[in-house]
A and B are shown apart, each in its own frame.
Chain A
Amino acid sequence: MAESGVTDGLCNAEDIERSKTEGKELTKEEKQRLRKEKKQQKKNKEKNDENASHEGKKKKKKEEKPVGSASQPPAQPSPKVPAPPAAVPVPASEAPAPADKPAKSKADLKAERRARQEAERASKGKKGDVGQPAPTGKLKAPPSELQPVVKRLPEHVQVDDPEVLKKLAKKLERQQTPGCNAAENVKIPLRSDYGYKVSLFSHLHQYSRKAPLTQQLGIPSTVIHPAIVRLGLQYSQGIVAGSNARSVALLHAFQQVIRDYSTPPNEELSRDLVNKLKPYISFLNQCRPLSASMGNAIKYIKKEISNIPSQCKEEEAKVKLLRCIERYINENIILAAKAIAKYSIEKISDGDVILVYGCSSLVNHILCEAFEKDRKFRVIVVDSRPRLEGREALRRLVQKGISCTYVLISAVSYILPEVSKVFLGAHALLANGYVMSRVGTSQIALVAKAFNVPVLVCCETYKFCERVQTDSFVSNELDDPDDLIVTRKGKTQLEQWQEVPSLGLLNLVYDVTPPDFVDLVITDLGMIPCTSVPVVLRVKNMDQ
Chain B
Amino acid sequence: MELQAVLMAAGGGSRMPDLTYNTPKPMLPVGNKPLMWYPLNLLERVGFEEVIVITTKEVHKMMSTDPKMKDVKIKLDVVCIQEDGDMGTADALRHIQQKIKTDVLVVSCDLITDVALHEVVDLFRAHNATLAMLMSRAHEFTETVPGQKGKKRTGEQRDFVGVDQSGKRLLFMANEADLEDGLSIRKSIMRKHPRMHIKTGLVDAHLYCLKKAVVDFLADNKSISSIRGELLPYLVRKQFSKTTNCPKSKDDADDQAQKTIDGSTNSTELLISSRDEPLLQLAQERSCWNDHRGDMSEAYHGGKLRCYVHIMDQGLCYRVNTLAAYIDANRLAPKLFEEPAVHPSAVISERCQMGSDSIIGAQSQVADKTSLKRSTIGNSTTVKEKVKVTNSIIMHGVTIEEGCNIHGCVICSNAVIGRGADLKYCLVGSGQRIEPEAERTNEVIVGTDQLMEI
Interface residues of A (CB under 8 A from B): 212, 214-215, 217-222, 226, 229-230, 233-234, 237-242, 244-246, 248-249, 251-252, 255-256, 329, 333-334, 358-359, 361, 389, 391-393, 395, 398-399
Contacts and interface: CB of A to CB of B under 8 A. Distances in A.
A278 B283 CA distance: 23
Contacts of A333: 282, 286
Given A248-B279, A252-B279, 13 more contacts: A214-B118, A214-B121, A220-B1, A220-B3, A229-B125, A233-B126, A245-B285, A252-B283, A255-B276, A333-B282, A361-B285, A361-B286, A361-B287
State which size class the interface on B falls in: 20 to 34
Nearest to A337: B286
A399 B297 CA distance: 9
B46 interface: yes
B275 to A, nearest CB: 9
B337 interface: no
A189 to B, nearest CB: 12
B122 A239 contact: no
B124 to A, nearest CB: 9
A240 B283 contact: yes
Contacts of A393: 288
Given A233-B122, A249-B283, A399-B296, A240 B289 contact: yes
A226 B2 contact: yes
A245 B287 contact: yes
A252 B47 contact: no
B445 to A, nearest CB: 45
Nearest to B120: A219
Which 10 pairs between the two chains have the least Cβ-Cβ distance? A218-B47, A359-B288, A245-B287, A220-B2, A226-B2, A245-B286, A220-B3, A361-B286, A249-B283, A252-B279
B122 A212 contact: yes
A233 B125 CA distance: 8
B62 interface: no
B1 A239 contact: no
Contacts of B284: 240, 245
B307 to A, nearest CB: 17
A189 B284 CA distance: 28
B127 interface: yes
Interface in B272-311: 276, 279-280, 282-290, 293, 296
A239 B2 contact: no
A60 to B, nearest CB: 64
B96 interface: no
Contacts of A239: 126-127, 287, 289
Given A221-B2, A222-B1, A392 B289 contact: yes
A220 B289 contact: no
Contacts of B296: 395, 398-399
Contacts of B183: none
Contact of A219 (B3, B283, B287, B290): B3
Contacts of B48: 218-220
Nearest to B117: A219
Contact of A255 (B46, B122, B125, B279): B279
Contacts of B81: none
A485 to B, nearest CB: 16
A392 B1 contact: no
A219 B286 contact: no
Contacts of B280: 249, 252
A214 B285 CA distance: 26
B245 interface: no
B31 to A, nearest CB: 25
B138 interface: no
B438 interface: no
Contact of A242 (B121, B126, B287): B287
Contact of B287 (A230, A241, A251): A241
B278 to A, nearest CB: 10
Contact of A234 (B126, B285, B288, B290): B126
Nearest to A396: B298
B288 A242 contact: yes
A226 B284 CA distance: 19
B128 A230 contact: yes
Interface in B415-442: none
A38 B352 CA distance: 88
B47 A392 contact: no
Contacts of B46: 218-219
B190 interface: no
A116 B304 CA distance: 69
25 contacts: A215-B116, A219-B117, A220-B2, A220-B3, A230-B125, A230-B128, A233-B126, A239-B287, A240-B284, A240-B289, A245-B284, A245-B285, A245-B288, A248-B279, A249-B287, A252-B279, A252-B280, A252-B283, A256-B276, A361-B287, A361-B288, A391-B293, A392-B289, A392-B290, A395-B293
A192 to B, nearest CB: 16
Interface in B98-152: 116-118, 121-122, 125-128
A215 B290 contact: no
B1 A219 contact: no
Contacts of B290: 392, 395
Contacts of A244: 286
B286 A248 contact: yes
A334 B285 CA distance: 12
B156 to A, nearest CB: 31
A414 to B, nearest CB: 25
Interface in B319-368: none
- Of A215, A222, A248, chain B has the most CB atoms within 10 Å of the CB of A248
A238 B121 CA distance: 17
Contacts of A215: 116, 118
B126 A252 contact: no
A219 B289 contact: no
Most B CB within 10 A of own CB, among A221, A238, A251, A399 = A221
Nearest to A235: B126
A389 B288 contact: yes
Given A220-B2, A221-B2, A392-B290, A251 B126 contact: no
Nearest to A361: B286
B111 to A, nearest CB: 16
Contacts of A249: 280, 283, 287
A212 B125 contact: no
Contacts of B276: 252, 255-256
Interface in B224-253: none
A361 B288 CA distance: 7
A136 B128 CA distance: 47
A321 to B, nearest CB: 14
Given A226-B2, A226-B125, A242-B288, A219 B279 contact: no
Contacts of B288: 241-242, 245, 358-359, 361, 389, 392-393
A219 B118 contact: yes
Nearest to A229: B125
Contacts of B279: 248, 251-252, 255, 329
B5 to A, nearest CB: 8
B283 A230 contact: no
B369 to A, nearest CB: 50
Nearest to A390: B288
Contacts of A246: 287
Nearest to A322: B276
A212 B123 CA distance: 12
Given A242-B288, A245-B284, A392-B288, A219 B121 contact: yes
Interface in B44-60: 46-49
Contacts of A255: 276, 279
Nearest to B282: A248
Contacts of A395: 290, 293, 296
A221 B288 CA distance: 28
Nearest to B4: A220
A391 B289 CA distance: 10
* Residue in A217, A229, A240, A333 with the greatest tally of chain B CB atoms within 10 Å: A240
Nearest to B123: A233
A393 to B, nearest CB: 7
Contacts of B293: 391, 395
